[in-house]
Amino acid sequence: MQSATPASFPAGPMPATVLFVDDEQRILRSLRMLFATQFKVLMTTDPREALVMLKRETVHVLVSDQRMPIMQGVDLLRKARDLSPDTMRLLLTGYSDLEAIIDSINEGEVFRYINKPWNADELRSIVGEAAAIAVGLRTLAPAVPLRGETAQRRILLIDDAADVASGLRTMIEEGFSGAFALDWVTSLPDAMGILERNQPSMVISELSVGGDDMMPFLKLLKLHHPHIVTIVQTTFRDTGLLVELINQGQVHRFLPKPMRKAMMLRGIQSGMELAREIHLHPEVAARHRVDVPPRPADAGLVGRIRSLFRGGPASR
């Protein structure tokens, strides 16, 4: 195990702990130099050792490479999520593998996906943000539930296809015996309407609906309504888009079409559990805080969405 505590930390609260995992030693040395002044830095080339560290001490942020001989980064993230769910998980990789990125969303619930070579300032800022969230969550006292769970939880489906809607409706009725109600819309304006009126806990959306690109909506949704858990269900697969969905949308699951029943059931199950947790402890939403999109592609559409959001219920 290698760790580095620099000569002097700035006076104040204990520094957060960041664990770096990469099969290239030189990358680790370089990252340590970048973070040693602000954080307690742990590093290892062996993902198995990383898991031991996660068990043994409080790690606030885990930053891992993807392509490693012993274990892939995504596998490490998944195990880390089970072992230490409050540890914020980041993937720092030079290798674009579509399957790995999808897995990092669905199984690793990764917070940010960063490409190598990285920009030092950006990386510092992302790790800093992740650490702050993790520290904030750990100091949470166990909260009292805010209100009872009398209301039926609602799911909003945004998709053009009627067969997708009916398939989902049937599956929800069979799989969850009416615990959740499904609202189905086929356009963006209709979606905004339902958001306002019915206050769903979860949104399941395609990427293009009624001719509109749903990406800006999904990003802004998470920004303004962080308590709503989103699932994207689509046939479209593109690494750039997936990275945006992670970094700026913090989408909970990325699922294929045609719908695979077991995957969707598990996705809704875990998503609703997360929604419930956020409902009881709203601060937990911070764990999935999104990056504000740098520059919207279609100013007109985004402007419309923004104004609709501003007119809606206040985000918590």
Partner 1 sequence: MEHVAELSVNVEPLDPEVSIMEVGDLFLEPRYDGFLSLPVVRDGQPIGVISRYGVQKVLMGRYGRELQGAKPVVAFMNDAPLVVPLEHSVEQASRHITRNIRFPIVEDFIVTRDGEYHGVGSVIDLLRGLEDRLMARNDSLAQSLNRLQESQTQLVQSEKMASLGQMVAGLAHEINTPLGYVRNNVELAHSAFGQLREMQEVFDSLVMLLQSPQADDAALQQAFERAMAVRGQAAAGFAPEDMEALFTDTMYGLEQISDLVINLRNFSRLDRSAVVNVDINQCVESTLLIAHNLLKHKVEVIRDLGELPPVTCAPSQINQVLLNLVSNAAQAIEEHGRIRISTVCHGGFVHVLVKDDGKGIRAENLERIFDPFFTTKPVGEGTGLGLSISYKIVRDHGGHIRVKSKPGKGTAFCVSLPVTSGA
The alpha carbons of the chain give a radius of gyration, in whole angstroms, of 20
Instruction: Label residue 81 exposed, middle or buried (CB < 10 Å: 0-12, 13-18, 19+).
Output: middle
Pick from 5, 52, 95, 269: which binds partner 1 (CB under 8 A)? 95
User: Which of 20-28, 39-47, 199-207, 286-294 is the region at the interface with partner 1 (rule: CB under 8 A)?
Assistant: 20-28
Give whichever of 37 and 187 is closer to partner 1, judged by the CB atom.
37
Q: Does 38 bind partner 1 (CB under 8 A)?
A: no
Q: How far apart are CA 188 and CA 37, in angstroms?
A: 47
Give bridge partners of residue 62 from the DSSP assignment: 19, 89
Give whichever of 120 and 143 is closer to partner 1, judged by the CB atom.
120
Can you say whether residue 199 is alpha, beta or left, with left for phi > 0 and alpha for psi between -120 and 50 degrees? left
Pick from 39, 111, 118, 184: which binds partner 1 (CB under 8 A)? 118
Give whichever of 111 and 118 is closer to partner 1, judged by the CB atom.
118
Instruction: Label residue 240 exposed, middle or buried (CB < 10 Å: 0-12, 13-18, 19+).
Output: exposed
Give whichever of 5 and 166 is closer to partner 1, judged by the CB atom.
5
Q: Does 13 bind partner 1 (CB under 8 A)?
A: no
Q: How far apart are CA 14 and CA 251, in angstroms?
A: 32
Give whichever of 118 and 180 is closer to partner 1, judged by the CB atom.
118
Q: What interhelical angle do 215-224 and 188-198 show, nearest 10?
A: 20
If we measure between CA atoms, which residue out of 176, 238, 165 comes closest to residue 207? 238
- DSSP states along 185-239: ESSHHHHHHHHHHH--SEEEE-SEETTEE-HHHHHHHHHH-TTSEEEEEES---H
Give whichever of 36 and 62 is closer to partner 1, judged by the CB atom.
36
The minimum distance between CB 35 and partner 1, in angstroms, equals: 11
**Number of residues this chain uses to bind partner 1 (CB under 8 A):** 20
Pick from 52, 98, 120, 161: which binds partner 1 (CB under 8 A)? 120
Q: Hey, how many other C-beta atoms are within 10 angstroms of the C-beta on 311? A: 9
- Asked if 80 contacts 51 with a C-beta cutoff of 8 angstroms, the reply is yes
Pick from 7, 11, 14, 146: which binds partner 1 (CB under 8 A)? 7
The single-letter code of the amino acid at 289 is R
The minimum distance between CB 117 and partner 1, in angstroms, equals: 4
Give whichever of 31 and 54 is closer to partner 1, judged by the CB atom.
31
Pick from 34, 126, 164, 245: which binds partner 1 (CB under 8 A)? 34
The minimum distance between CB 293 and partner 1, in angstroms, equals: 25
Q: Does 240 bind partner 1 (CB under 8 A)?
A: no
Pick from 1, 5, 33, 136: which binds partner 1 (CB under 8 A)? 33
Q: How far apart are CA 167 and CA 150, in angstroms?
A: 27
Q: Does 309 bind partner 1 (CB under 8 A)?
A: no
Pick from 1, 52, 85, 116: which binds partner 1 (CB under 8 A)? 116
63-82: which residues touch partner 1 (CB under 8 A)?
67, 69
Interface residue list for partner 1 (CB under 8 A)? 6-8, 24, 26-27, 29-31, 33-34, 37, 67, 69, 94-95, 116-118, 120
